[in-house]
Amino acid sequence: MKKRRAQPETPEQDHTGSPPLGEPVFLVIGLLGRSHGLKGDVIMDVYTDFPERLTPGKTVYLGDTYRPVIIQRLRPANKKILIGFEGYSNPESTADLRNQLVYVPTSEMPLLPEGEYYHHQLIGLRVVDSSTQVLGVLDDILETGANDVYVVKSADGNELLIPAVENFILEISLERGEIKVVPPEWD
């Protein structure tokens, strides 16, 4: 199951970055690092599985204020991207970009195939067992490499770790706000 992390925040949103009802407004797709070269390019750590959607002319949003900037040029650099923005033409002009998160509006995120979800769609869902007994709320998703692990926090503050694989995840219903699971029995 593909999932992506959301890290938006605006004054009308709660501490999770989501509006009071519904989807987050922005999703993090990268983190800007140091300047590179003489044209004002910046090295960007890529946090999205869809870097091909970044193209010259596309508007992205930077930092806590979601300042809009237009991508002027970009090219891959190992597992990162060298990116240049309109209005930034030399290394000195990019000093304020370092350590800024790069966002895109949630509305521009590609639809995922059925059965795949973004992290922000799952975090906060109620987790129940097959008899619909509430086990807690999905609090976090650990990305382990082999498979994700759902961290379910119960009402008493205990955590239950559930591998995000078919043997344990019976159903995900965004409409009901619920994930039905078979809790693992740890020895």
Q: Is residue 26 within 8 Å of residue 66, measured between CB atoms?
A: yes
The alpha-helical segments, DSSP class H, found in the chain are 119-122
Residues of the chain with pLDDT > 90, as a percent, come to: 59
Q: What contacts 179, CB < 8 A, 6 or more positions away? A: 122, 125, 126, 127, 128, 138, 150, 169, 171, 172, 173
Q: Is residue 122 within 8 Å of residue 176, measured between CB atoms?
A: no
Rg over CA atoms, the chain = 19
Query: Higher pLDDT residue, 117 or 151?
Result: 151
Pairing of strands 126-129, 178-181: parallel
Q: Is 103 exposed, middle or buried (0-12, 13-18, 19+ CB in 10 A)?
A: buried
Q: Is residue 137 within 8 Å of residue 27, measured between CB atoms?
A: no
Q: What contacts 142, CB < 8 A, 6 or more positions away? A: 148, 149, 150, 151, 161
pTM (predicted TM-score): 0.65
- 24-52 per-position pLDDT tens digit: 688 889 999 999 989 999 999 998 888 88
Output the average pLDDT for the chain: 85
Domains of the chain: 26-108 (2.40.30.60), 124-181 (2.30.30.240)
Q: Chain-centre distance of CA 150, in angstroms?
A: 15
Q: Is 5 exposed, middle or buried (0-12, 13-18, 19+ CB in 10 A)?
A: middle
- 41-82 per-position pLDDT tens digit: 999 999 888 888 899 999 999 999 999 999 999 999 888 999
Given this model, what pLDDT does residue 101 score? 96
Q: Is residue 122 within 8 Å of residue 79, measured between CB atoms?
A: no
